[in-house]
Amino acid sequence: MSLLRNFATVGSATAFSRVLGFGRDMLMAAALGTGGVADAFFVAFRFPNLFRRLFAEGAFNSAFIPLFARKLEGEGDEPARLFAQDVLAALLFALLILTAVAEIAMPVLMFVMAPGFYTDPEKFDLAVWLTRICFPYLLFVSLLAFVSGILNAKGRFAVAGFAPVLLNIVFIIALAAIIYAGHAESPTAGYWLSVAVFVGGVLQLVAVLIELKRSGWVLALRRPRYTEGVKRLLKLAVPAILAGGITQINIVIGTMIASMAAGAVSYLYYADRVYQLPLGIVGIAIGVVLLPDLARRLRSGALEAASGQQNRALEFAMILTLPAAGALFIAATPIIAGLFERGAFDAEATARTAPVLAAFALGLPAFVLIKVFQPGFFAREDTKTPMWFAAINAIVNIVISLALFPWLQHIGIAIATTIGGCINACLLGLTLYRRGHFIPDPRLTKRLVGALAATGLMVAALIIASVIFAVWVDDTASAAGKLIHLATLVIVGMLAYVVAIFALGVTSRSELAGYMRRR
């Protein structure tokens, strides 16, 4: 099963990157905590990181891959190469202009991005300078996404999937140097980390360019031309970016509102980092692999097979996502405490961050479903419908965030993001169903019900394990005790869910063994 095999490649790469990311964020919590420097750096990194998620996690490629794949399979390598070179020229030209304008207008952009910082001139100025250092990462990561799209369309997923690991390695080295040199919680730490973002972006781009050359392709730089192919791409790409990146756009909106309260930006950042692990491994990986697969099947006229692949993708995604959502919700406090509570990140920071994670966890299945459903539109070159649904998502998010922020502050922002995501996922799924592009089959229904029941049993096991741990273990307040508590819950949760899905017939050992043999 090529879908599962390619998902395993992208998913394992994303998992490795996110595990390193946890190590990075544990060091970051110890070095920066949730103070003014942390808030300034997280906003500075949010600018280019938004584009990393918009581009690298599939939104740009949602428009590019179907067009490129059509050229590659319908006309051959040379027309596809010429099309890619035209896109490269246009993309590079636009990115250079955007970067130059952003560097000059950064104070104005910062006022828009984090209006709450304006009342603290020192934090505002630091955020402006850190963002100026980070912003060229946008150039590197956008080109990285473009080259990765070519590699994915050619069936080469591995290097593009592992490229983000390089950024986390650079981050970890920089954070270790910051702590060793005694610059924790100082503006110097912010500057060093911003330089690390720049260096990491360069290394990632170099890695995929080397892989592209190994595949037999070298793209020449050309003068930008507004060709029919570029025009068609632009027409599809703008709605696709707005639709595919709506979860990240909502987080940026949340950051803008959260800047009004001290520390709120940091609380949202740390909670976001945790729930992005299952979202990256499952939702984003499924979306990256499913799009080219659906595009190929639809071009060959295999409509029933395309619907079947979407069923299997949704089935596989929910079997992995439902237990993750349940665990993140029920064990939010032990997770945050075990991962981050040390150094500058204290118990109060844990108490303020854990409810945000719990709120995001409730929306995790919806966030993953968005990534599963959107390729059904993009593969048919329909990017406008998801864009309108994304607009509804954003409006709901803004209205509810503003309504809840005076009472719940950053927790209200997370609740609003979750509600908006649920509405978006429902609109996408119902529209595909109404158009006859996605018909749930009996196997999907049966396995979703089984996965939901298994998740309920796992949650019960986690509650029991947490109570027993608190009663039997005396040293629960120490850093080691928190890590042991978290490790215990991880082991209990995984074992409980695996036993439950086998017992309820969600999957079988023979089926799992067959997947492994094909892998």
Task: List per-residue pLDDT tens for the chain, 519 residues long.
Answer: 455 565 666 666 666 777 787 778 778 877 787 677 888 888 888 777 766 666 545 556 667 777 787 787 777 778 888 888 988 898 889 889 988 998 999 999 888 877 878 788 888 899 999 999 998 988 888 888 888 878 877 777 777 778 888 888 998 999 889 988 888 878 898 899 999 999 998 999 999 899 888 888 888 888 888 888 888 877 777 776 666 566 667 767 777 787 777 777 788 888 888 888 788 777 666 766 676 677 677 776 777 777 777 888 888 889 889 999 999 999 999 999 888 887 778 888 899 999 999 999 999 999 999 888 888 888 787 878 988 898 898 889 889 998 998 888 889 999 999 999 999 999 999 999 998 888 888 888 999 999 999 999 999 999 999 888 877 765 556 767 788 888 889 999 999 999 999 888 887 666 655 544 444
Tell the residue number behind the tokens 């968005």, with chain if given.
Answer: 370
* C-alpha–C-alpha distance, residues 201 and 161, integer Å: 14
Contact 97, 85 (CB under 8 A): no
Same domain, 476 and 385: no
DSSP state of 35: S
Residue whose token pair is 């864009």: 387
* Pair of tokens at residue 89: 């020229």
Residue ending a domain, choose from 440, 465, 484: 440
Asked whether residue 403 falls in the same domain as residue 450, the answer is no
Are 251 and 158 found together in one domain? yes
Instruction: Answer with the one of 423, 440, 457 that is the final residue of a domain.
Output: 440
Collect all residues with Cβ–Cβ distance below 8 Å to 20 and sequence separation of at least 6.
Answer: 165, 168, 169, 172
> 435 and 458, same structural domain?
no
Residues 57, 152: Cα–Cα separation, whole Å: 12
Residue type, 223: R
144 in the same domain as 54: yes
**Alpha carbon distance 35, 32 (integer Å):** 7
What digits encode the pLDDT tens for the residues 38-68?
Answer: 888 888 887 777 666 665 455 566 677 777 8
Which positions ≥6 away from 440 have C-beta within 8 Å? 311, 314, 433
Same domain, 436 and 489: no
Residues 6+ apart with CB under 8 A from 476: 469, 470, 482, 485
Q: Give the position of tokens 């299997």.
A: 312
How many C-alpha atoms does 13 have within 13 Å on its Cβ side? 22
Question: Residues 202, 123: one domain?
Answer: yes
pTM: 0.70
The two three-digit tokens of residue 103, written as one number: 């560097």
Distance CA 340, CA 332 (A): 12
Confidence (pLDDT) at 354: 93
What does each C-alpha distance from 416 to 113, 149, 209, 361, 398 come to in angstroms? Answer: 18, 32, 39, 12, 8
Q: How many Å apart are CA 114 and CA 123, to the nearest integer?
A: 10
Number of domains in the chain: 2
Report the C-alpha gap between 28 and 22 in whole angstroms: 9
**Alpha-carbon gap, residue 150 to 135, rounded angstroms:** 24
H-only helix segments in 409-478: 410-434, 442-472
427 and 458 housed in the same domain: no
In Å, the largest CA–CA distance within the chain is 70
Q: Do 427 and 471 share a domain, yes or no?
A: no
Range of the domain at 67: 2-440
* 513 and 435 belong to one structural domain: no
Cα(194)–Cα(394) distance, integer angstroms: 29
pLDDT in tens, 157-173: 777 778 888 888 998 99
230 & 336 share domain? yes
Q: Which of residues 440, 472, 497 is at a domain's end?
A: 440
Amino acid at 365: P
**Angstrom distance (rounded) from CA 107 to CA 96:** 19
Q: Which residue has the tokens 């919680």?
A: 185
Do residues 64 and 114 both lie within one domain? Answer: yes
